[in-house]
Structure 1
Amino acid sequence: MERVPLLRSENQKRRRNVTVLVVLGLFIVTAFMISMNTGYIRLSPVELIQTLFGMGTKKQSLILFEFRLPRIVISLLIGAGLAVSGCIMQGISRNALADPGILGINAGAGLTVMMFISFYPATAAAPVFMLPIVALVGAGLTAILIYSLAYKRHHGIAPIRLLLTGIAVAAGISAATIVMTLRLSPEKYQFVATWMAGSIWGANWKFVLALLPWLVVLLPFVFYKARVMNVLNLGDQTATGLGAPVEKERLVLLAAAVGLAGSCVAVSGSIGFVGLIAPHLARRLVGQKHQMLLPAAALAGALLVITADTIGRWILQPSEIPTGIVVAVIGAPYFLYLLAKSKS
């Protein structure tokens, strides 16, 4: 008899969580429509619909299909990728403040991408499909360094040690990046400065195709590992007692997080705090279970980045504010709030 109310409660919670995902999806669709009409040259709703169905002018088609739509799609993809990456890092480290930007993963990926594109006379000449691989190398090496410095035998990884190690490594990489920028030509320096601020610079379909395969492979894999992440959240001893190969699963999930963060940074620049804010928002909406938490975080991250990019393009027309700066305006105070609440 006691199981009936319990099952009813679980069904109600599941329906509520599905409703949350649907609402987030509707918000994204709304932001998508607003973003398509945001820019120096405005398209009325009628012109927008006509252009989508191939009945617009050549100028309208060029603006929508070659400039705005690729950027909007990239915003959604990197928002989802960075959010899920942050959710993984918070789960495997049991650290509410973990984030690929704060821990230095983004900085490591950014450094290698900057070194790569600096060898080309123009940034557009850099092989687009090589950028995620280059970023993955930098992000992977940074993650290995942070993991090895934060790990202690017989004690594992303490959340506060991981956070402080990541901040220190990120500071060192940022210093190295600044030193390297001093050797760049004025044209490349302008590009790198904008890129480091978190500008979605790869706004064409080639960059969408370069990023999409990484997310198509890694996101379903991470969603498949949701039950494993639930077990890891119970603590190393409990997870080991339940038969989970803790270190192996942690390394596999860390590799997935690094792959997501590195590939996103390659086309978006250094956008921070997405991996921090989106998982926390999703956790408040759908709870701790990763079967719902991961999709909710992906949707929340996509919504955050597309909203920030739209605001950045609208607020100072015809100029624009890099998306990373808009996200930082939201994320920095939230990070300080979480840091103040942290007890570890």
Structure 2
Amino acid sequence: MIHPLLLKKQRIMLVGLFVLILLTIAISIGIGYSSVSYDRLIPTIIGQGTFKEEFVLFSIRLPRILITLLAGMALALSGSILQGITRNDLAEPGIIGINQGAGVAIAVFFLFFPIDVGSFVYVLPLVAFIGAFLTAALIYVFSYKRGTGLQPVRLVLVGVGFSMALSGLMIILISSAERTKVDFIARWLAGNIWGTDWPFIWAILPWLVILIPLTLYKANRLNILGLSEPVAIGVGIALEKERIVFLSIAVALAAAAVSVTGGIAFIGLMAPHIAKALVGPRNQLFIPIAILLGGWLLLLADSIGRNIIDPDGIPAGIMVALIGAPYFMYLLLKK
């Protein structure tokens, strides 16, 4: 039974974050090289803007904003799940190598397979999922110890090792590739939001529509997985089955996100921690807040990054890393 005051606090936080996201969206639309002035924003939304204003809003600004928002939500939920099933506060798809696994799969697909323009957008998340899932499976196998189960500290260490190895493999792959393809992969590695068109939104949206409700439905099982293994088994949880299900959900969310935004880390680390600090560690309470926080953090990072330096700005992945890396070091020293 969740205390009514906690539920009330959660609802207030959710409303506050929703308002904060709307304000950030409005500010993001009104700044930058291609922007819509604030006094013309409402008329343009309701169809009374000029051709230029409608083109900037609906073809340039809005798709990019929605992509960053959805990707941030996916990464935050992925990090929340990984921290729950591993009982490790440092687990995050960008840190333990899952994003890099998706990146290697995307690089191989992009460099060595024929690309059909019509299906490329929708195939990319599947390719990223295959690469990320294979990486996660290997990390899981190397982190598991017979008799004692999954080793949380070993998982982070193995994941960091895989991350470094896959980054090296990525360099090998692009070292002899065509210049145009190398440029694309380099932007992907930097976390440059590249999927800024409506088809990319339709490619990532179904993953979130299905997997967010599924995770919230199974949130109580995630609570139990966060306890010790004997306790989880004692209450009747099929431990390995549930871990595999949740791991698959986390991998799918991370893969869908990075397939359109590039290699962005630390969102899945920071958002769950901030959410837990606000409403406590129960998954039913903090996961919805973490989801909105992740979307807002990535949206804020991209809005600042693309306006801080002309003409191309700083990739969102680098902006997030400037904040996330010190935060990771703080948690590492604290834990």
- TM-score tier (shorter): over 0.9
Q: Secondary structure of 1:43's match?
A: coil
- Structure 1 residues 134-153: aligned runs within 5 Å: 134-153=127-146
1:314, 1:320 within 8 Å by CA — same for their partners in 2? yes
- Structure 1 residues 260-339: aligned runs within 5 Å: 260-339=253-332
CA-CA distance at 1:317 after TM superposition: 2.9
CA offsets 1:49-79 (integer angstroms, 9 cap, x no match): 2211111111111111011101100111000
1:4 maps to none
TM-score w.r.t. the length of structure 2 is 0.97
| Same amino acid, percent of matched pairs | 47
**CA–CA distance in 1 between the matches of 2:314 and 2:49?**
29
**CA–CA distance in 1 between the matches of 2:196 and 2:114?**
19
1:105, 1:143 within 8 Å by CA — same for their partners in 2? yes
CA offsets 1:226-260 (integer angstroms, 9 cap, x no match): 10011111211111111111111111000100010
1:73 maps to 66
CA-CA distance at 1:126 after TM superposition: 6.6
CA-CA distance at 1:118 after TM superposition: 2.2
- Asked if 1:98 is matched to 2:91, the reply is yes
**CA–CA distance in 2 between the matches of 1:122 and 1:60?**
33
- Structure 1 residues 115-154: aligned runs within 5 Å: 115-119=108-112, 127-154=120-147
- Asked if 1:17 is matched to 2:27, the reply is no
- Asked if 1:162 is matched to 2:172, the reply is no
TM-score w.r.t. the length of structure 1 is 0.94
- Asked if 1:47 is matched to 2:64, the reply is no
Q: Quick one: which amino acid aligns to residue 177 of structure 1?
A: M
- Asked if 1:249 is matched to 2:205, the reply is no
- Stretch of structure 1 that moved more, 313-322 or 193-202: 313-322
2:105, 2:127 within 8 Å by CA — same for their partners in 1? yes
Q: Quick one: which amino acid aligns to residue 154 of structure 2?
A: R
| Structure 1 runs (4+) greater than 3 angstroms displaced | 119-126
Cα gap change, 1:123/1:304 in structure 2, threshold over 3 Å: closer, same or farther? farther
1:89 pairs with 78, 82, 86, which one?
Answer: 82
Cα gap change, 1:42/1:68 in structure 2, threshold over 3 Å: closer, same or farther? closer
1:120, 1:126 within 8 Å by CA — same for their partners in 2? no
Q: Secondary structure of 2:88's match?
A: coil
**CA–CA distance in 1 between the matches of 2:239 and 2:114?**
46
CA-CA distance at 1:187 after TM superposition: 1.7
1:180 maps to 173
CA-CA distance at 1:24 after TM superposition: 1.2
**CA–CA distance in 2 between the matches of 1:216 and 1:53?**
26
CA-CA distance at 1:319 after TM superposition: 2.1
RMSD of aligned alpha carbons = 1.6
- Asked if 1:35 is matched to 2:45, the reply is no
**CA–CA distance in 1 between the matches of 2:3 and 2:291?**
23
CA offsets 1:260-294 (integer angstroms, 9 cap, x no match): 01111111100000100000010001101100111
1:191 maps to 184
- Asked if 1:216 is matched to 2:209, the reply is yes
**CA–CA distance in 1 between the matches of 2:117 and 2:52?**
23
- Asked if 1:63 is matched to 2:70, the reply is no
1:136, 1:263 within 8 Å by CA — same for their partners in 2? yes
**CA–CA distance in 2 between the matches of 1:191 and 1:125?**
18
Number of residue pairs aligned between Structure 1 and Structure 2: 335
1:38, 1:313 within 8 Å by CA — same for their partners in 2? no
- Asked if 1:237 is matched to 2:230, the reply is yes
Unaligned runs of 5+ in 1: 1-6
**CA–CA distance in 1 between the matches of 2:161 and 2:283?**
29
Cα gap change, 1:125/1:182 in structure 2, threshold over 3 Å: closer, same or farther? farther
**CA–CA distance in 1 between the matches of 2:241 and 2:114?**
43
